[in-house]
Amino acid sequence: MKKVAVIGAGHVGATTVQRLAELNIADVVMVDIVEGLPQGKALDLLHAAPLMGYDINVLGTNNYADIIDSDIVVVTAGIARKPGIDRDDLLATNIKITLQVFAEIERYAPDAIIMTVTNPLDIITYSALRSTQFDRNKVFGMGGLLDSSRFASFIAREINCSVKDVRAMVLGGHGDSMVPLPDHSSVAGIPLSKLMDEESIERVVNRTINAGAEIVGYMKNGSAFYAPSAAIVAMIEAILNDTKRIITASVFLNGEYGLHDICLGVPVVFGKDGVEKIIELELSSQEMEALQRSANKVREGIAKIST
C-alpha cells in the first residue's frame, strides 16, 4: 500500500484525507501542530470506513516522524485568505510556516514527492525547491488544475452543457495574474469561439480569475476547500497510478516558455516520478505577454523571500 502524508488538518487537509480514504488507494498520515485535531479527525474518518467501504489506515499525529516512507507529501499548512486579503498578503506568515515543514519533510521523507498547496502557491513552491535538496520533478504546486477546473465549471454553466465535455486550460501564477486560455479550451473538441461570443468568454475568464476571492467573500472567515482537495487528489491519483495525465501545475522552469528560475503554472505530464515532462504550448504573442506579466508578479514575491 502506498503512503501519502498531508501536512495540515484544516479544511483543505482534512477534506483531502477524506477523499483519499474514499478512493482506497493509499494509507494516509495527517499532521498538524494543534494537539488532538488530526487525531480526532482521523478517528472520525476511521469510524466512517465500514459505511464507505475503505480499508486504508488513517493516522492523525503531531509528530513529523510519522511521515517516514511517504510516497507523496501534501503541504496545506498555513493561514487562509480572508476578505480583502490577497494570496500574496499571506506570504510573510506562510513562508515561515512552510520552511519549517519542508525541513521536516527533508528529514523524515527525503524520497517523497512534495505537492504544495499553501498560498501564495507559486512562491511557496519555489521556496520548497530552493530550501531543500529535492529534484525539480519532485516538487510542484497544485494551483493550475484548480484554476482550470473553475474555468471549466464556468464554461459549462455559461453554455448549459455537461462539465464532462469541457477541457479548459489556465496557465501562470495561482492568483490574480493567472492566464486562462480560451483558445486552448474546448467543449467536446469544439473551440469556445464556436460556442460563445467574445463578451461571454471575457465574462467567464474574469470570473475564473476572481473565483477564489468570490468564495472568500461569501465565507468571510475561510476559503475554498472542496475543489482544492479534489484537485490535490486528482494529482495524487495520477502519480500513484502512473497514468501520465496532462495536468497544469506550478513547476520550476529552466528555459521553458522563455522563463528561468521561477515556478509557474504550465501543463505537465504526471506519472510515478512526479513531473515527467513539461509541455510547451504554442502561444500567441498576446498570451505570451500575459504569461510574462504573470511571471513578473510571481518574481516580485520571490524577491521578497530572497532578501
Q: Residue 110, Cα to own-chain centre: how many angstroms?
A: 21
CA 99 – CA 95 distance, rounded (Å)? 6
- As a whole number of angstroms, the distance between CA 233 and CA 241 comes to 12
Which residues have CB under 8 Å from 205's CB, separation 6+?
151, 180, 182
Q: Is 260 a catalytic residue?
A: no
Is the CB of residue 9 less than 8 Å from the CB of residue 41? yes
Kindly list the strands in the beta sheet with 2-7, ordered across the sheet, starting from the edge strand earlier in the chain.
58-61, 26-31, 2-7, 72-75, 113-116, 139-141, 245-254, 260-271, 274-278
Closest CA to 9 of 36, 40, 31, 27: 31
Give the burial class of 200: count Cβ atoms within 10 A of its Cβ; 0-12 exposed, 13-18 middle, 19 or more buried. middle
Residues pairing with 275 in the sheet:
270
| Annotated catalytic residue, options 47, 174, 184, 260 | 174
Given a contact cutoff of 8 angstroms between Cβ atoms, the answer to whether 63 and 35 are in contact is: no
Q: Any idea which residues carry the catalytic annotation? A: 174
